[in-house]
Amino acid sequence: MLRAAKLSTRTLGSSKPVFVRALSTQVVKSDFVVIGSGIAGSSAAFNLAKSGKGRVTVLEREEQHGYHSTGRSAALYAETYGSEVVRAITTGSKAEFQSEELVRLGGGVPFLKDLGLLWIARPDQLAQLHELFKATGKLVNNLQYLQNAKQVHEACSLVKTDYATAGFLEPDARDMDVNAIHSAFLRGTKLHGGEVHNGAEVVQIERTSTKNWVVHTAKGEKFEAPVLVNAAGAWADQIALLAGIRPIGLLPKRRTCINFECPAQHLSALHSMPMVFDVGEEFYFKPDAGRFLASPADETPMLPTDAQPDEFDVAFCVDRVQQATGMNIRTITNKWAGLRSFVPDKDFVLGPDDREASFVWAAGQGGFGIQTAPAAGRLVKAFACGEEVPQDLADLGVTKQALSPSRLLDRQAVSSEEVEVMVEKLMEEFASKHAEM
Ligand SMILES: Cc1cc2nc3c(=O)[nH]c(=O)nc-3n(C[C@H](O)[C@H](O)[C@H](O)COP(=O)(O)OP(=O)(O)OC[C@H]3O[C@@H](n4cnc5c(N)ncnc54)[C@H](O)[C@@H]3O)c2cc1C
């Protein structure tokens, strides 16, 4: 660990002590403290609590669960979406999405609904389409290749015949009920004896002489555990810095979504269409409760924040969907943006830190954190308990090394001094943010 003793005395906002309210002396002890109650933290907490390996405490800054990325997704479950490892973890999540226990915890309504996914390609994107079809066909055996514009148009009558020249269909792609899935993990965590605290912003992390982690919140509460799970989404590197752990180089990227009304002449197409995804990830659109949901698939790098939609991206989205479909989009009923956070290779970072095994990463879920949540939660539980990759996931090709932070060789270049500078910068940002409030 990097200069733990020095870093351990630091507090986000320490230059403004007013933000750390009345320090209580009582320390709440557990076996695992999970930071962040989004889909990553809640699925890890659920699996840890259920395993009976010890007491679990989840700390969430916001008063509302799912306020950040988890509550802003497009809710697609697709086994053809994401890198090879991501796709394997997605496939490895399928059975659990249908598990009786989880569905009951989520309120009894199935998590996955029929949708289908149609990847489309313009003439200049054909090589990309072939590559994706070949790669994804290894795990998904019922993909349907569409070799010409007519077949694409038959799969979705909204796609113009002079736009896409080929495509392929993943018939078993699904729409997810994200809220029900997320609630199931949180409810399950509590049911298995875990504690979930909202309004608990982590502002300081220190070590005891026995190497336990002590996590301080802005309200002055203290939580102690031998194992810390970092599931802070876009803020995961900030949490690492507080703990004196080298960051993984996480880059949050903004993605925008809109809902728009369906023009009357396309209503019947809307009700029977699959989700349509440009193979170069330039845009997508899908049916969403009687309207359309669409995105320009933007990836604008940002600092961790409460992301808001940008008007340019909204206009871009409208333009791209209009070009592909010829629809005249008149009424936008909703628009939002959220952060998808990636490390450079775009794979997840799940598992113990390479220098400090009691600090467990659950970060970098990018645009795939919901569709992978059940299996990712099992993986984080396994790694936090010093176990290997569960056999069913190993059979799908998932390895510890592919997910480990140690694979991110660039991290080796981050010196202790650089970490010090980053922590200073982080504290300044925190102090100035709160000074404005
Ligand atoms: C527009 C959009 C579309 C998407 N579409 C899909 C899709 O179709 N399918 C799919 O599978 N995925 C999709 N995703 C990706 C998915 O939403 C994310 O991968 C996932 O939500 C990440 O979950 P998380 O728990 O890591 O992050 P978050 O949900 O952001 O949770 C992290 C939590 O940590 C908390 N936190 C941070 N710092 C602190 C602190 N100091 N103290 C306490 N708590 C803290 C935050 O408040 C936050 O609640 C999409 C994302 C976006 C933005």
Q: Which of 340, 337, 303 is nearest to 317 (CA)?
A: 337
Q: Which residues on adjacent β-strands are paired with residue 339? A: 254
pLDDT tens-digit readout, 368-404: 999 999 999 999 999 999 999 999 999 999 999 999 9
Amino acid at position 221, single letter: E
Q: What is the residue whose two structure tokens read 């200073």? A: 424
Atom 15 (ligand 1): residue with closest C-alpha? Answer: 367
> Ligand 1: which of 347, 361, 370 to mutate, most ligand atoms within 8 Å of CB?
370
| Ligand 1 close to Cβ of residue 60 (< 6 A) | yes
| Ligand 1 close to Cβ of residue 233 (< 6 A) | yes
> Ligand 1: which of 11, 73, 89 to mutate, most ligand atoms within 8 Å of CB?
73
| Ligand 1 close to Cβ of residue 59 (< 6 A) | yes
| Ligand 1 close to Cβ of residue 72 (< 6 A) | yes
> Ligand 1: which of 34, 35, 70, 89 to mutate, most ligand atoms within 8 Å of CB?
70
Atom of ligand 1 nearest to the CA of 295: 1
Rounded CA-CA distance 345/387 in Å is 25
Ligand 1 centroid, distance to 63 Cα (angstroms): 15
| Ligand 1 close to Cβ of residue 380 (< 6 A) | no
pLDDT tens-digit readout, 1-19: 333 333 333 444 433 333 4
Mean pLDDT of the chain: 92
| Ligand 1 close to Cβ of residue 405 (< 6 A) | no
H/E stretch holding 371 reads none
Q: What is the residue whose two structure tokens read 């009304």? A: 261
Between residues 188 and 434, the one the model is more confident about: 188
CA–CA distance from 206 to each of 178, 190, 210 (Å)? 34, 26, 11
Ligand 1 centroid, distance to 407 Cα (angstroms): 23
Domains of the chain listed by start with CATH number = 4-71+179-250+345-436 (3.50.50.60), 117-171+251-342 (3.30.9.10)
Atom of ligand 1 nearest to the CA of 76: 8
40 and 64 in contact (C-beta within 8 Å)?
no
Rounded to an integer, the average pLDDT of 272-276 is 97
For strands 144-146 and 76-77, give the pairing.
unpaired
| Ligand 1 close to Cβ of residue 217 (< 6 A) | no
CA–CA distance from 420 to each of 160, 248, 391 (Å)? 55, 15, 40
pLDDT tens-digit readout, 120-168: 999 999 999 999 999 999 989 999 999 999 999 999 999 999 999 999 9
Write down the pLDDT at residue 16: 36
